């Protein structure tokens, strides 16, 4: 199978810088900043059949918007030592954790003046500059005790950054809190059996929620380089760690075996007795082929944990197969109303989006923007129209693959009318392969 045969999943080979991009529609003046998205983009043509589609060196794609214009598009690989060496560039050097060095391909997060490419499993983040050039590995000014995580949450109450890290070499998972000065101020090692994949976690006003589920990190079992596997019989549990608690304070609540890659949001209610979590639940995952997703598509669910009785009640909220859920970052850790998720195309290869759904989790309604046959849409990132704007007063940004152009658009949807379709499309000169997560970095941070 050649790169061309892989269709829109094929990696791109060139780093592009394009200015003054054509726009259809009208870009909101309030969008002043950069939309950044990370994803795997294998640097060399390894045999694709031997590589899980989610593997490969991280490449950041970015679009800068200002004054109603799309000023530029750039895409850059993260310069890990391996990438820099293969591109014939000088190595950047810097700190390492357990000698692990990779080009993070999972997420991008801006915090305390640093723009970070993120990955889980034991490696450090890499810092990039405002034009996506790699600065080097980042260990939070020498305060990060190990590796970091793909997912992190900026607490809108405190401005601090929370993450849960795990590592192939650790018998625990680690809750980390980074202060607004960019230094780690708290770490708690929570012992766990085996090496559960904790891709993400949830944060409420008083608790950190840990997903100790049957997907484990088992690189020694992977035949094709994909390091995760479903471990039959492994207990499934939800850990409730008080934000400033110790490992011994974690309460483990039994749940049905499943895989949760991405919670949306979680919040406390009933005087703190209960926690409601909205998340995408997969019945099983990574239990079959190691080179393709396994057919167990995720569904949006609501879990209510009763912290007095220690029980967790599940409710499926929608029939559609969805993933990559996001919410207004200002509402994380508290009550909220709207979630945005990719409606995955049934039957086809995983990772292809048929549409973007806006869920009203309060009323139980939804609306959807659909892309044309042969198209694709990735994760939607909500950007408020102003700092004090209402929860859905703003824009949802996402990359869409446009088959008619064989290239990618950055679409801007009005969050209050997602089904109406984009208010603006920025036409990129190239295709952006499907990837993982992104964020909006406004100019005024
Ligand atoms: Fe993720």
| Residue 218 confidence (pLDDT) | 84
Q: How confident is the model at residue 5 (pLDDT cuts 50, 70, 90)?
A: very low
Overall average pLDDT of the 343-356 stretch: 79
| Residue 3 confidence (pLDDT) | 41
Q: 53 C-alpha vs ligand 1 centroid, how far in Å?
A: 14
| Spatial CA neighbour of 378 closest among 1, 20, 40, 123 | 40
Backbone angles phi and psi of 84, in degrees to 5: -60, -45
Judge contact between 72 and 23, C-beta under 8 A: no
The answer to the question of residue 359 being in a domain is yes
The answer to the question of residue 394 being in a domain is yes
Judge contact between 286 and 307, C-beta under 8 A: no
Kindly provide the b/e burial profile for residues 100-114, where b requires at least 16 CB atoms within 10 angstroms of the residue's own CB.
bbbbbbbbbbbbbeb
In the annotated binding site, the residues are: 151, 199, 262, 437
The answer to the question of residue 89 being in a domain is no
What is d(CA 439, CA 383) in angstroms, rounded to the nearest whole number?
9
Could you tell me the CATH number of the domain that includes residue 251? Answer: 2.120.10
Q: 116 C-alpha vs ligand 1 centroid, how far in Å?
A: 15
In the annotated binding site for Fe cation, the residues are: 151, 199, 262, 437
Q: 24 C-alpha vs ligand 1 centroid, how far in Å?
A: 30
> Distance of CA 119 to CAs 40, 100, 138, 162, 398, Å?
11, 12, 12, 15, 21
The answer to the question of residue 93 being in a domain is no
Q: 67 C-alpha vs ligand 1 centroid, how far in Å?
A: 31
pTM above 0.85, yes or no: yes
Structure tokens at 205: 């006003």
Q: 323 C-alpha vs ligand 1 centroid, how far in Å?
A: 9
Q: 141 C-alpha vs ligand 1 centroid, how far in Å?
A: 25
Question: Which residues form the domain of 283?
Answer: 141-442
Q: 179 C-alpha vs ligand 1 centroid, how far in Å?
A: 23
The answer to the question of residue 34 being in a domain is no
Q: 269 C-alpha vs ligand 1 centroid, how far in Å?
A: 27
Q: 308 C-alpha vs ligand 1 centroid, how far in Å?
A: 31
Q: 106 C-alpha vs ligand 1 centroid, how far in Å?
A: 6
Q: 150 C-alpha vs ligand 1 centroid, how far in Å?
A: 7
| Residue 221 confidence (pLDDT) | 65
The answer to the question of residue 42 being in a domain is no
What is d(CA 72, CA 359) in angstroms, rounded to the nearest whole number?
32
Q: 306 C-alpha vs ligand 1 centroid, how far in Å?
A: 27
What is d(CA 434, CA 345) in angstroms, rounded to the nearest whole number?
13
| Residue 290 confidence (pLDDT) | 46
Q: Is pLDDT of 134 > 60?
A: yes
The answer to the question of residue 39 being in a domain is no
Q: 149 C-alpha vs ligand 1 centroid, how far in Å?
A: 10
- What's the number of domains the chain is made of? 1
Give the other-Cβ count within 10 Å of 315's Cβ.
10
Give the whole-number percent of the chain exceeding pLDDT 70. 93
The answer to the question of residue 126 being in a domain is no
Residue 210 CB burial class (10 angstroms; 0-12, 13-18, ≥19): buried
Q: 262 C-alpha vs ligand 1 centroid, how far in Å?
A: 6
Q: How confident is the model at residue 227 (pLDDT cuts 50, 70, 90)?
A: confident
Reported as a single tens digit per residue, the pLDDT across 205-220 is 999 999 999 999 887 7
Q: 378 C-alpha vs ligand 1 centroid, how far in Å?
A: 12
Q: Residues 6 or more apart from 40 whose CB is under 8 A from it?
A: 11, 53, 54, 55, 56, 57, 58, 59, 105, 433, 435, 436
């Amino acid at each position: 199978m050649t790169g061309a045969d892989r269709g829109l999943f094929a990696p791109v080979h060139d780093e592009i810088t394009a200015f003054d991009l054509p726009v259809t529609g009208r870009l909101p003046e309030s969008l002043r900043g950069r939309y950044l998205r990370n994803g795997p983009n294998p640097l060399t043509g390894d045999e694709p059949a031997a590589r899980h589609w989610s593997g490969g060196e991280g490449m950041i794609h970015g679009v800068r918007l200002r004054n109603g214009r799309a000023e530029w598009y750039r895409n850059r690989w993260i310069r890990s030592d391996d990438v820099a060496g293969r591109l014939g560039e000088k190595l950047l050097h810097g700190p390492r954790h357990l000698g692990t060095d990779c080009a993070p391909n999972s997420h991008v997060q801006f915090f305390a003046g640093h723009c970070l490419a993120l990955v889980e499993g034991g490696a450090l983040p890499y810092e990039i500059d405002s034009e996506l050039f790699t600065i080097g590995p980042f260990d939070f000014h020498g305060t990060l005790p190990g590796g970091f995580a793909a997912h992190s949450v900026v607490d809108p109450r405190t401005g601090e950054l929370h993450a849960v890290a795990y590592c192939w070499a650790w018998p625990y998972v680690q809750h980390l809190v980074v202060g607004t000065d960019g230094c780690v101020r708290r770490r708690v090692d929570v012992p766990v059996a085996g090496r559960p994949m904790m891709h993400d976690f949830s944060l409420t006003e008083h608790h950190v929620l840990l997903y100790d589920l049957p997907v484990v990190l088992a690189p020694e079992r992977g035949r094709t380089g994909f390091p995760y596997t479903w471990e039959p019989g492994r207990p499934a549990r939800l850990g409730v760690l008080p934000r400033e608690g110790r490992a011994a304070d974690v309460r483990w609540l039994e749940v049905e075996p499943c895989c949760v890659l991405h919670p949306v949001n979680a919040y406390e209610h009933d005087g703190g007795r209960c926690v409601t979590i909205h998340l995408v639940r997969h019945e099983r995952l990574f239990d079959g082929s190691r080179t393709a997703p396994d057919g167990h598509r995720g569904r949006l669910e609501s879990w209510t944990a009763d912290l007095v009785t220690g029980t967790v009640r599940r409710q499926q909220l929608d029939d559609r197969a969805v993933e990559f859920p996001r919410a207004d970052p200002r509402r994380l850790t508290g009550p909220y109303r709207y979630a945005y998720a990719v409606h995955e195309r049934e039957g086809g290869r995983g990772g292809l989006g048929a549409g973007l759904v806006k869920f009203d989790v309060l009323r139980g309604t939804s609306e959807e923007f659909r892309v044309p046959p042969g198209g694709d849409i990735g994760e939607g990132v909500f950007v408020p129209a102003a700092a004090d704007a209402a929860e859905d007063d703003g824009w949802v940004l996402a990359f869409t693959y446009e088959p008619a152009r064989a290239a990618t658009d950055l679409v801007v949807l009005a969050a209050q009318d997602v089904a109406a379709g984009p208010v603006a499309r920025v036409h990129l000169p190239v295709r952006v392969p499907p990837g993982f997560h992104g964020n909006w970095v406004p100019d005024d941070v």
